[in-house]
Amino acid sequence: PREIQLSDDYQFWRFNILVPNKEKILIEIFNHQLFAGGNYPSLTTLMGVDYKCPVAERVHSQVINLFNNEAFSVEKAKKIVKIIKNNL
C-alpha cells in the first residue's frame, strides 16, 4: 500500500517501507527463504552524540528495506508483497 511507502526521495538503493510490526514481517520473510533488511539506524551513536533523535529512532524501529535490483526476481518480489500485505 502507498501509505506504508517512504517518499520517492528515499527509494534509491533499496525500496523502503514503514510498518508497525517490523520484526514479525521480517521473520515471515526469512521463514519463506526470502530476504529483506531493517537497517536505517540513527547516526547519533555513530557520531558520539549523547541525545535522543525520536524521529530517526521511530523510522529505524519501523523500516523494512526491500531489494530492488536485477538479482531479485519479480517472483520473489510478489511473494514478499503478499507476506507484507498479510501481516499488516
Query: Per residue in 41-53, pLDDT tens?
Result: 777 777 777 778 8
Specify the pLDDT at position 56: 82
Specify the pLDDT at position 88: 92
Specify the pLDDT at position 48: 77
Cα distances (angstroms) measured from residue 46 to each of 17, 21, 28, 42, 43:
23, 26, 30, 8, 5
Query: Per residue in 5-16, pLDDT tens?
Result: 999 998 887 899
